[in-house]
Each structure stands twice: as C-alpha cells, then as structure tokens.
Structure 1
Amino acid sequence: GNTHTYNSKTHSIKMEVEPQPKPKLIHGLDNVTNMAAGVNHSVCVTEAGSVFTWGCGDYGRLGHGVQKDELRPRRLEWFSGPRAAPTECLLTCGGTSTMLSGPHGTFWWGKVKTSGDAMMTPMMCDDLRGWHVRSLSASKTTFGVSAESSAILWGQAIHG
C-alpha cells in the first residue's frame, strides 16, 4: 500500500521543514507491509524485506552506524541479502531505540538503557533468543514483549 506521514514542526519526525497538517505520501516507499513511529523516528518494512528508517539519528536509533538525522527514508543495509526482514516481522520505536522481531530472532539498536554506549547498528537481543515473540512495545528505556504465554518487561521502572 501507500505510506503517508503526519507530523508537526515540534513533534514526531521532521520530514519537511514546515508542519504537515494532513497526511502526505512518502515518495520512494512502495509496498510497505509494516511500520512503526516513535516520537522522533520511524521504521518500516517492504514486501521485498527492505527496512527503512528516518527521523532523528541520535544514539544510533536509525541503525545506520552514525548519529545523523535522515529527513527521508533510508534503507538499512544491515537487513539485506540473507538478513532481509520478513514482511510479517514486528516493529517498535522506543524513545531512543528501535526493535524488529521475526522468525530469525529479535534485533534492537540505539540506546536501550540509561547508561552505557548505544548500539549503532542492529544486534541480536540474546535474552529473547528462542522465544516466539508475538508483540513488541517500547518507551524511553522500558521494553515489553509478549512471547508464547508470557509477558516479559524490562528496563527503567521509575513509574511502575
């Protein structure tokens, strides 16, 4: 299907210099099967298994190996060839991170904890290896996963 974006100058991704009060087609993204939007960045997967990220690049949340904002969707080369993302994968955008889960595992990148270095490119989330993940959710530094018949939560628990 077609992909549209909706944002304002002070919130969400800043794909345009001016606020976008109505949904606008994102050119260059065809056959998008899944997407997620965070406060400052977005991610999507296409039928071909390509993963695109755009928005604020701080802390490596876009996965391109550099802390650089992308004003237009940029293909995440890490998910190409044998690592192409399945169209039925799960996606979520946290405050400073991104997660993707599919049959080959759960991957995350960006700043996933309050201290330490950020992961500038996707890495396997080893703690979820072997779990059949059914849904993902993320906030600033807290993550939630439903896997099989379990709910798994971790991260900074300031507000519960």
Structure 2
Amino acid sequence: MKRHTTPVLLTLLLGTAIAQGSSPLDLKLALNVVKSVTENGKVAEKFLPAQGNVPGDVLSQVVTARNVSSKAVKNVQIPLNVPKATFYLAPEKAVDTARTEYSIDGGRTFAPAPLKRKVTLTENGKSVTREVEVKPSEYQAVRYTIPELKAGQALKLGYRVQVK
C-alpha cells in the first residue's frame, strides 16, 4: 500500500495561510484521521492525529480562522486546496458555517454547489452540448467567505477528504 505523509498534505493546505502573512487572520489547520469505533454498543467517530495515511483513510481538515486585529473584518475569503493525493467528500460536521464555494479548475474560479460543466456528446451522429453536474469528488478547492469576523473572534471551517 502506498502511504501519503501528513507533511505533504499540510504543505498543500497551508499554502494559502502562508500567503496571507499580513492578514488580520491567524489560520491554524487541524488534520485528523476519522475512525469509526464502537463504544458501549454504539458506533462513534474518533479523531486521531494524521501521520502516515493509506489509501481509503478519511481525513478531517478543519481550519480555525481567528481575527487577531483590533477591528472587525468583513467578507474574509479563505481558500483551501484539496490535496492531489485525496478527493473531496463532504463538509465537516459540527463546524461553523460560512458561504462555501467550490472549484474544479484548481482554484481559478469558484461557485456554489452543485457545480456544473458543459460536455459535448455525439447523439444520432450530431454533436450536442449538455450541462452536467460535477461530482464532489472532482472538487479541487474550497473557498469560505465569512461575512464578518469581530476582533478576537474565531470560526472553525472544514471538510473531509479521502486518501486516493
């Protein structure tokens, strides 16, 4: 089995945070492996630190955005790339909400889900263009827009991916 190391995933995900060096935001990423465990006869999720990951592992990626300035900031955008060694599954459970948009072109353009793209098919010998829905597993980036973040306030935003 091929193993994917956490440092590679963290580097890919935190590129945006590093680029925002002069930002009023402090961004911290928590990357955990999600495991199903049975406790007292009930199935529950357990979050373990992501170290070497194998294909099929589900990872929870949660970024905490804290406003470290003395003023409220408005319409803050936080883009996160979906690492190439993974595919997007779904939004993380029990985190804060913000306007969420997705990209299928490496983060050049974003739109709310469901994303659509045009494909050209041949039907009865004729070329026909149709609009089809993009599967979430094809998302390459996620962008959160926070309408307002007061001074000192923090929000947690995130999603789950699966190692290819």
TM-score normalised by L of structure 1: 0.30
Higher helix share: 2
TM-score normalised by L of structure 2: 0.30
Higher strand share: 2
Larger Rg: 2
